[in-house]
């Protein structure tokens, strides 16, 4: 048989090409809300694969999140499955605002996504200890809701530009809550933690490790929501909000600062980053334990609380946070203002105070 250079090259390219594609799954189980399921299964699927559920933003679609984020390409490299849910609601936002959204097995969007994940676990023999979750904007809000409502299903999550679970309540399906979006829903970490816990009453098992991203220049979901979301998960895991174990500048890269509270909670805050926050797939892979060291145990630490709160839908409010650029050598709100080796501004813009966190870090709060 004659073998030409051209035919050999074409055969080689054919061997390298991927047949994997985004595919809709129509019958995945109980789905009263009508959410749509799409899935990406790489050609080289690992045995007992991990699953990453990637939840899109308002106006988004499963295909937009598939093409606009790196998870499918990373799946090709590491052999995991990606589920791309698609919202059935007008405008493409997820229902993170109804009471049903905060209730297990209620038939809401959150219920539909959990059903998608369980279907894929059964269908592909996935590893229940490697079920992960990520989302942007409305998808990040859903990420926090799912972490609270189905903490036994997911092992780690990464939320980009979201709000605390329960913050967006309007008692309507996929409603818009300006008070929450504008950063005016401000309360204690104990309150936020109870809001999350009330979404699965009586549950005391492991919870997903949480990584929270936000940008300081976000004018859609105001940056104060970073603080409130960190409060929520700090309270759930038994950390003290405002006292991270480590503060790492330019990590995972400039202009981000990483606040490490412990094995179960990390915050990543981008100076000057808008609501159009980029997804850092490589960092997510490390957080999930798909690359690097395996994910740490997600067993929650005990939280002392003597107050039982209803599943709050509207936290105590204060004036909206409007980021400003103070003149002179003053540090803006949430900026670093002290610590061992720190050489920047040590005076905070009024009315904020330089608050000691540890010997290496003080912050304008």
* Active centre residues (catalytic): 137
Cα–Cα distance between 227 and 12 in angstroms, integer? Answer: 52
The contacts of residue 234 (CB under 8 Å, 6+ apart) are 189, 193, 240, 241, 261, 265
Token digits for 137?
A: 């904007």
- Contact between 156 and 196 under an 8 Å Cβ cutoff? The reply is no
- Contact between 144 and 162 under an 8 Å Cβ cutoff? The reply is yes
The contacts of residue 38 (CB under 8 Å, 6+ apart) are 22, 23, 24, 25, 62, 63, 66, 83, 84, 85, 86
Strand partners, 185: 317
- Contact between 82 and 114 under an 8 Å Cβ cutoff? The reply is no
Phi, psi of 249, deg, nearest 5? -75, 150
273: left (phi over 0), alpha (psi -120 to 50) or beta: beta
- 125-153 core/surface letters (b: 16 or more CB in 10 A; e: else): ebbeebbbbbbbbbbbbbbbbbbbbbbbb
Strand partners, 257: 249, 269
- Contact between 282 and 78 under an 8 Å Cβ cutoff? The reply is no
**Concatenated DSSP letters of 79-92:** --EEEEEE--SGGG
Cα–Cα distance between 190 and 195 in angstroms, integer? Answer: 9
Q: Which one, of 153, 133, 129, 154, lies nearest residue 143 by Cα?
A: 133
Q: What angle do CA 269, 355, 271 make, to 5 degrees?
A: 20
For 97-164, list the strands marked E by DSSP: 131-136, 156-160
């Amino acid at each position: 048989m004659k073998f030409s250079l051209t035919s050999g090259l074409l055969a080689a390219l054919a061997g390298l090409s991927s047949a994997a594609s985004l595919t809709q799954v129509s019958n995945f189980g109980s789905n009263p809300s009508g959410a749509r399921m799409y899935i990406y299964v790489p050609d080289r699927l690992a045995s007992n694969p991990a699953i990453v559920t990637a939840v899109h933003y308002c106006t988004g679609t499963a295909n937009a999140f598939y093409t606009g984020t790196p998870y499918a390409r990373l799946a090709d490299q590491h052999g995991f499955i990606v589920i791309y849910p698609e919202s059935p609601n007008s405008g493409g936002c997820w229902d993170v605002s109804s009471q049903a959204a905060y209730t297990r097995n209620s038939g809401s969007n959150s219920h539909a996504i959990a059903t998608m994940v369980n279907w894929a676990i059964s269908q592909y023999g996935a590893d229940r200890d490697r079920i992960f979750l990520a989302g942007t904007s409305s998808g990040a809000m859903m990420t926090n809701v799912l972490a609270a409502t189905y903490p036994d299903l997911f092992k780690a999550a990464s939320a980009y530009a979201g709000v605390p679970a329960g913050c967006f309540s309007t008692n309507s399906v996929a409603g818009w809550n300006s008070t929450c979006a504008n950063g005016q829903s401000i309360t204690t970490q104990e309150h936020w933690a109870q809001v999350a816990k009330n979404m699965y009453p009586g549950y005391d098992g492991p919870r997903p490790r949480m990584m929270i991203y936000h940008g300081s220049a976000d004018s859609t979901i105001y940056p104060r929501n970073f603080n409130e979301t960190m409060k929520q998960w700090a309270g759930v895991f038994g950390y003290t909000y405002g006292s991270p174990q480590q503060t790492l500048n330019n990590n995972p890269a400039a202009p981000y600062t990483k606040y490490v509270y412990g094995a179960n909670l990390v915050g990543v805050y981008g100076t000057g980053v808008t609501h159009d926050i980029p997804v850092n797939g490589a960092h997510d892979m490390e957080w999930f334990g798909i690359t690097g060291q395996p994910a740490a145990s997600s067993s929650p630490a005990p939280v002392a609380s003597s107050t039982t709160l209803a599943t709050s839908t509207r936290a105590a409010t204060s004036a909206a946070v409007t980021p400003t650029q103070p003149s002179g050598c003053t540090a803006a709100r949430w900026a670093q203002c002290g610590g061992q080796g720190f050489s920047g501004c040590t005076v905070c813009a009024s009315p904020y105070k330089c608050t000691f966190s540890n010997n290496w870090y003080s912050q304008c709060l």
